[in-house]
Chain A
């Protein structure tokens, strides 16, 4: 597969997107498509705009100029009350985890399902399953602050997957982890990707990139400097 040029299955499309924070241009004139089912790495040095790019997709930030189309909807025109429903189609792994400190592991993951108004019995069952899958079943009642970084990251992944979203946005999912923990995290994401989900990973983890599984785009000072096609199949 070369640079995808058929746009029929574009899940997310960006046209001349720029994002400015005061005087700082975090993203500059970016045009790109993200396709259904692909595994995409977003890389580049610190401050290049990787996190900002991901935030545009779930309206964590709004563009300064240009258009972002997500699932065919223009993000500039999405009504505020629609935002929660947009976000339910994403599973987000945040660079800083964003686990609720005074809720235990189970509650943190179950929250995603509660917010969707799922029946209680189903919530308990699914949460348990996902935590078992993530190898965190034994720590279900632990508070996030008592977990190691790798364990917290696993809970974050479990939470991202819990709502069975179409797209996973993983911001630096292996950032501060040892190789073994990183392996577990990538394994979890990979398994979910195989079930048909689209996965976007923002990272400067060169080891991860060396595998060259999936497409890589590179940002530098907010500019899209290269977009390399995927070499093999996604992991």
Chain B
């Protein structure tokens, strides 16, 4: 193994330019895919923090009995996707409203009777906080006899989840594209190395070298290039992230985007290694078929 490593390193120094270019291109493709991953990871975090706060306001008809109110509360709580329902009486609602508008107390002076209805604040469980599901739930709630009206943050919820879906989709497509690009690059560098060393490989075969002996340094080179490319990409991405956070961090809702999780970084690194290995594998398979001994 040490000898294979030595041969690999020797080859790195001998073909420094070719290997350098390969590492750089791999890291570039990984950098772009990694940036998308970063966006998706943070987007998902934002969405899930929002999702955990999704509520539906259920307004009740005027003048219904307290037993009806309680029954409605029970029906709401047992509904699928509901985490809990809190009753807010019309008086409480008015007090809250007046408190929140303390500066404009005069507005309430000639209000006469409280115009607000009794209501339930229904908390949607995070798993159910999908736009389509909330829509269905709201439709079911409005069918309850005591319920007058249902209100939920339809617009932003729909927009944000649609946006994230789009990012995930394009991100996935781009990641696939870059995977193919990176694979193609490794495949071609190995091919170039193989064909430029046809004679050398033939001689090795003639003096009794096994297929593994010939392939090992190439595989090692591919794996090292892939891993190195991934490391460089991660470092560059981290640099860009730090820059971004220092410029605009904490601007929106105290939300500070986090860097890729350890797990995601591990995946990116393994991905780089896989690309290097697989590119080698494809190239070698083709070459060995062509030069059947």
Question: Are A and B a genuine interacting pair, yes or no?
Answer: yes
- For residue A92, give the distance in angstroms from its CB to the closest CB of chain B: 6
Q: Which one of A81, A87, A101 lies within 8 Å of B208 (CB-CB)?
A: A87
Residues from chain B with a CB closer than 8 A to the CB of A85 are 208
Interface size classification for chain B: 10 to 19
Of the candidate stretches B36-44, B154-162, B196-204, the one touching chain A is: B196-204
A101-133 Cβ-contact flags toward B at 8 Å (1 or 0): 111000000011011110010000000000000
On whether A101 and B213 interact (CB within 8 A), knowing A84-B208, A116-B208, the answer reads no
Q: Is the interface of B mostly helix, strand, loop or mixed?
A: helix
Q: Which one of A87, A103, A117 lies within 8 Å of B207 (CB-CB)?
A: A87
* A159 to B208 Cα, complex, angstroms: 12
B71 lies within 8 A of chain A by Cβ = no
B14 lies within 8 A of chain A by Cβ = yes
A88 lies within 8 A of chain B by Cβ = yes
Structural contact, A115 and B208, CB atoms closer than 8 A:
yes
Structural contact, A115 and B293, CB atoms closer than 8 A:
no
On whether A83 and B293 interact (CB within 8 A), knowing A114-B3, A115-B208, the answer reads yes
On whether A115 and B200 interact (CB within 8 A), knowing A80-B293, A83-B293, A102-B14, the answer reads no
Q: Which one of B206, B210, B211, B213 lies within 8 Å of A92 (CB-CB)?
A: B206
Q: Which one of A84, A100, A159 lies within 8 Å of B210 (CB-CB)?
A: A84
Structural contact, A84 and B199, CB atoms closer than 8 A:
no
Residues from chain A with a CB closer than 8 A to the CB of B202 are 98
Interface size classification for chain A: 20 to 34
* A116 to B14 Cα, complex, angstroms: 24
Residues from chain B with a CB closer than 8 A to the CB of A80 are 293
Q: Which one of B3, B200, B208, B209 lies within 8 Å of A120 (CB-CB)?
A: B3
On whether A111 and B199 interact (CB within 8 A), knowing A59-B293, A83-B293, the answer reads no
What is the interface of chain B, defined by CB distance below 8 A to chain A? 3, 7, 14, 199-200, 202-211, 213, 293
